[in-house]
Amino acid sequence: MDNTLAAIRDLVATHDRFAVFSHARPDGDAYGTSLAFGYMLRAMGKQATVYNQDGLLKSYQHLPGAEDIVATPVLWPADSGVVIAVDTSTYERLGEGLVRAKVIPELNLDHHASNTLYGKINHVVGDSPASAQVLFEVAQALGWPLPAAAANCLYVGLMTDTGSFRYRGTTARTLAIASALVSAGADPSALADQCFRRNSLGRFFLMREVLNQTRFYAENRIAVYHVTPAMFASSGAAPEEGENFLDLLQTINTVEVAFMVQALDTGGTRVSLRSRARVDVSAIAAKFGGGGHKLAAGIRSSLAVEQLEAELLSEIETALSAGNV
Ligand SMILES: [Mn+2]
């Protein structure tokens, strides 16, 4: 057993109370992995609470245990147990509640290659397609229990972060893990239905507007759209319902890089980037203080929407011509 695994084993064995965190603006892998960790700890007789800066987002309320997710308190209580972070590439993304209290996680478990290793124990598997897979491997190596509720949560993490087992990084091992999770009680068709066929009408109206205003550059190899607070207001979509429209742009056969630029209510700009294969969008995001994976990355910036978009377009065009795409 390697040192990190032994340290994780000892951390869990020698403590009784745990607080499991994932990143703000949580997705299926963040919620799924943190909830599954909670179930595993409780199955070992521990106390575990699952926190998120954003509490429970409506679109994930079907996850087993979702109703018990606690919104991170503004002031983090000192006696809340051993802090574990999952699926979170930087300390700041764990959210203000924890960051203000300057609590350093005892364990940082993740699959983002750009993870800054902010934990006391860092278990980061950069080529793993989901944190759910990383946690499954740890649990299996250490002989931890896998209750059915944990299997369902891990399955959601694996399914959503692999784009339903379509993205690169989906290996025979990933599918073997999915199979093990189904054997342990995960229900693939029910979970797919709950994750992918429960969009609100507001989200559909927002999607219609996004598709209408998508623009193409560099001989249709770059696609971009904007999202504004006004578009959320007119469509009736919830703030978290603006995700994953880039998947639609990526279905177009000419598109190498698709990105969206969102003006935030709070001021500032958020960007998501996706690449088909040849352009490393995490390298581009890094130039603007962002990060992520080679084929999927993000940025938060104080630059205005128009300026950030113009600078990104020029960086992406440079990358496209450098790669002779
Ligand atoms: Mn993830």
pLDDT for 299 equals 96
pLDDT less than 50: residues of the chain: 325
C-alpha 87 to ligand 1 mean position (Å): 5
CB atoms within 10 A of CB 310: 12
Distance between Cα 2 and ligand 1 center (Å): 23
What's the DSSP call for residue 59?
Answer: G
Cα–Cα distance measured from residue 282 to residue 32, given in angstroms and rounded to the nearest whole number? 24
CA of 324 to the centre of ligand 1 (A): 31
The pLDDT of residue 316: 98
C-alpha 136 – ligand 1 centre gap (Å): 13
**What pTM value is reported for the model?**
0.88
118, amino acid identity: Y
Which pLDDT value is given to residue 43? 98
pLDDT at position 240 is 84
- Stated length of the chain: 325
Ligand 1 centroid distance, CA of 321 (Å): 30
Name which of 243, 278, 272 is nearest 168 in CA terms: 278
